[in-house]
Chain A
Amino acid sequence: EAGVTQFPSHSVIEKGQTVTLRCDPISGHDNLYWYRRVMGKEIKFLLHFVKESKQDESGMPNNRFLAERTGGTYSTLKVQPAELEDSGVYFCASSQDLSGELFFGEGSRLTVL
């Protein structure tokens, strides 16, 4: 069974540009999460989807970030326009139900120059 996959593994863009990160959860997992770790700091929760609905987006830093999960399968996280402080590693995770284990992807590293 494939794990959580994320693309791209590393993206380098200039300030002001747009980047879209993609996450494919484990098949059948209704719950999908985005977390991020900015340089040297803690991994922080961004948002939680249940199927295609945003259950909790309290961690989204500002309106430059847009997450979608059309059809309740894969999810995208768009940053537009990117700023220097957005650099970090963005992790996606999925689970079958809220009492079960959370499975993480390898992360997408974003570098904004």
Chain B
Amino acid sequence: GNSVTQMEGPVTLSEEAFLTINCTYTATGYPSLFWYVQYPGEGLQLLLKATKADDKGSNKGFEATYRKETTSFHLEKGSVQVSDSAVYFCALSEGWGAQKLVFGQGTRLTINP
């Protein structure tokens, strides 16, 4: 079946550091790929998405590129802030539509001032 594997956490960085959270997937067909973020005390929010190979999703300074050849969708940000501290989930869509999602295990990110 379809699956998503993401970088083990927790990850701790200093403010203004470069961030990469790795995500790879296994899927039949051509799923859409997503990054969701859960800030403390809040629900999951869609951070960015890409619907086909070579698409780049971007939002709030975060970027991820849909790489079909390496089945990856790594999340990057050039300069993180304390407010980026959260749990990040990589996910793919399964089936028709974009809403039956298969998630990775989540990566907790802590940014220290």
Contacts and interface: CB of A to CB of B under 8 A. Distances in A.
A103 B101 CA distance: 13
The size class of the interface chain A forms with chain B is: 20 to 34
Contacts of B105: 40-42
Nearest to A33: B99
A69 B100 CA distance: 18
A45 B103 CA distance: 9
Q: Is the interface of B mostly helix, strand, loop or mixed?
A: loop
Contacts, number: 56
A93 B100 CA distance: 11
A106 B12 CA distance: 24
A107 B104 contact: no
Interface of A: 3-4, 31, 33, 35, 37, 40-45, 48, 56, 91, 93, 95, 98-99, 101-107
